[in-house]
Amino acid sequence: MKPIETIMRTAPVIPVLVIEDIAHARPIAEALVEGGLRVLEVTLRTECAIDAIKEMAKVEGAIVGAGTVLNPDDLKAAIDAGSQFIVSPGLTENLGKAAVASGIPFLPGTANAGDVMRGLDLGLTHFKFFPAMANGGTPALKSLTAVFGNCRFCPTGGITEATAPDWLSIDQVLCVGGSWIVPQGAPDVTKITANAKTAAALA
Ligand code: 3PG
Ligand code: 3PY
């Protein structure tokens, strides 16, 4: 299993995926990997999300993790499905302790200084900044990175192909997350690969 820093440095963008139909899982993963985005965050927001993680993990080159992990039960289900990393929208002590104890690479959401400090207490240094735009955009994250110089971030939420470079230009931002690469609905794999190539080139 790769450490979270390595996962965050694999590509400049982590696609945040909401898989509605298990039949979409494999073609979406293949299209993203072909386009150069190997790190895939499958959110646990749909019935088939756990099965989607299992399917996508079979795609060569894909590094598949679970997002929207809210509690230790979600954590266990995600790990059992073969997730290589875990993402949560926020950081609770309950989930944080369980994730750290499991040893799996963990990227919890933080929105403010108190969240980051709770993460530091758990021994964590790599965080989502979520929801990035609604939380004040790049000025808000720059205020946090000025204080928490040893932390690294993956801003997510309201980021677009056009605004991603602004975020990526912040030293402590290793990658950004976003849903724009894979539009909802039946997958247009040509379009997904094209979006992924553009995103992969943002570095
Ligand atoms: C999400 O929660 O779905 C992610 O933050 C991605 O959001 P986005 O649609 O704003 O990129
Ligand atoms: C999550 O759902 O886990 C998030 O980090 C929001 O994108």
- Please give the single-letter amino acid code of residue 5: E
CATH no. for 4-183: 3.20.20.70
Residue of minimum CA distance from atom 11 in ligand 1: 178
Asked whether the predicted pLDDT for residue 1 surpasses 80, the reply is no
- pLDDT, residue 110, reads 98
**128 noted as active-site residue:** yes
CA of 193 to the centre of ligand 1 (A): 19
Mean pLDDT on 150-160: 98
Q: What is the ipTM of this complex?
A: 0.95
Rounded to an integer, what distance in angstroms lies between the CA atom of residue 151 and that of residue 174? 10
Domain residue ranges in the chain: 4-183
Rounded to an integer, what distance in angstroms lies between the CA atom of residue 7 and that of residue 48? 24
| Chain mean pLDDT for the chain | 97
pLDDT digits (tens, 9 = 90+) for 119-147: 999 999 999 999 999 999 999 999 999 99
What are the residue ranges of helices labelled H in 37-188?
49-56, 72-80, 93-102, 113-121, 137-147, 164-168
Residue of minimum CA distance from atom 5 in ligand 2: 89
Provide CB contacts within 8 A for 84, sequence distance 6+.
1, 2, 7, 57, 63, 64, 65, 104, 105
Asked whether the predicted pLDDT for residue 2 surpasses 90, the reply is no
Pocket, ligand 1, Cβ cutoff 6 A: 16, 156-159, 177-180
Confidence band of 203 (pLDDT split at 50, 70, 90) = confident
Helix (H, G, I), strand (E, B) or coil at 23: helix
pTM value surpassing 0.95: yes
